[in-house]
Amino acid sequence: MATAQSVAAISVWRDAVDKAVTETKIGAPSEDKGKRDLAIAYSTALIMAQYGTVRTSLMSGRAAASIAFDILGLGLTSAVPISNGARGKTILGGLATGFKGTQLSIDRSLFNQQTTSAILTAMDTCVLRQRKLLGTKRALPVADYSMYDAYSDLVYLYGCTTLAGAMEELVETQSVAARQEKENTTIVLITEVERDQFKAAQAAYIASVDGDKKLALDFLKAMDVQNLSAESPKQEFIDAYQKLGFEALSKEANKSKFLAAATKVKLIK
């Protein structure tokens, strides 16, 4: 499913990493796991270095003003603040190509709906999660987590630092929140008689709020709402009633309590 360019990017990244690891002055690893871990650490450092360029660009408004330039490659043309900048750009290029070949393009309308702070928050959340994953995976032996497994996770980390990755993170976050809200919200069925009782209670409550407020206050007290008085503004009475009404339609027990309290204080017959 990946493009030929994306597949070739794996070889580009691997060759560049091999040379960078060989050239590094911190000591060549003596075993496969050491080599893999150094490759992960070096690649992660490069990604985080160029991420600073991405954040600066977003915060300065460059990306908000126009997304015509290649945001996925942002930073690759800048100086990479790590030893052997040319090699670093090649490594980042391999990761960027892998991301470009497998991810969806930026949805322009979705981008326009988001604030810069929301985009940066999504990026940071994604980066932190993926770096924690990489840290956990590095504890595994090479037999269980190869250099190529690391490549796929590094590509994802690189994606976290791009606008396209931020959009994906925002969509996933919003989808999960909407699903959880839907799962946690229940609508209680009501009979025709109960529907008429709710309508009558609301009419009597509003009439009381517009009058001496006695019935409204008695009802609120029966529903354990104690923070209102006869001097409270009308809107506070309306807000309190709407909250109780929503809760009454969310749980059977709340519905029963609502109608029982309305009957007790003679809000309804």
Question: Same domain for 110 and 60?
Answer: yes
Residues 160 and 233 in one domain: no
pLDDT of 179 reads: 56
Rounded distance between C-alpha atoms, residue 259 and residue 3, angstroms? 63
Q: Is 19 domain-assigned?
A: yes
Kindly state the greatest CA–CA separation across the chain: 87
Structure tokens at 166: 């931020």
- Say if 164 falls within a structural domain: yes
Predicted TM-score (pTM) of this structure: 0.54
Domain boundary among 184, 219, 238: 184
Evaluate whether residue 269 is within a structural domain. no
**Phi, psi at 68, each rounded to 5°:** -70, -30
Residue-by-residue pLDDT tens, the chain, 269 positions: 556 777 788 888 888 888 887 776 665 566 788 888 888 888 888 888 878 777 777 776 654 434 433 444 444 444 455 555 677 777 777 777 776 654 444 555 555 556 677 778 888 888 999 999 999 998 899 889 998 899 889 988 888 887 777 777 777 766 555 455 555 555 677 888 888 898 899 899 999 999 999 999 999 999 999 888 989 998 899 888 988 888 888 788 888 999 999 999 998 88
Range of the domain at 41: 4-184
What is the spatial distance between Cα 95 and Cα 58, in angstroms, rounded to a whole number?
A: 21
- Asked whether residue 23 falls in the same domain as residue 146, the answer is yes
What pLDDT shows up at residue 63? 45
User: Residue 111: how many CB atoms within 10 A of its CB?
Assistant: 18
Q: Quick one: 120 and 218 in the same domain?
A: no
CA angle 157, 161, 164 (to 5 degrees): 105
Cβ atoms of residues 104 and 169 within 8 Å: no
Query: Which DSSP symbol is given to 72?
Result: G
Q: Are residues 151 and 32 in the same domain?
A: yes
Considering the domain architecture, whether residues 228 and 139 belong to the same structural domain is answered as no
Q: Establish if 209 belongs to a structural domain.
A: yes
The residue from 184, 215, 246 where one domain ends is 184
Q: How many domains does the chain have?
A: 2
Q: Which of 157, 184, 211 is the last residue of a domain?
A: 184
Residue 105 falls inside a structural domain: yes
Q: Provide the 10 A C-beta neighbour count for residue 53.
A: 18
Q: Work out whether the CA dihedral 241, 245, 251, 254 comes out positive or negative.
A: positive
Residue at token pair 């690391």: 150
Q: What is the pLDDT of residues 78-88, one digit of tens each?
A: 445 555 567 77
Q: Give the pLDDT of residue 50.
A: 77
Interval 123-138: pLDDT, tens: 888 899 999 999 999 8
Same domain? For 109 and 166 the reply is yes
28: left (phi over 0), alpha (psi -120 to 50) or beta: beta
Question: Residues 163, 196: one domain?
Answer: no
Name the 3-class secondary structure at 109: helix
Dig out the tokens for 90 from the structure. Answer: 């090649």
CA-nearest of 29, 238, 69 to 163 is 69
Is the domain of 178 the same as that of 72? yes
The pLDDT of residue 3: 66
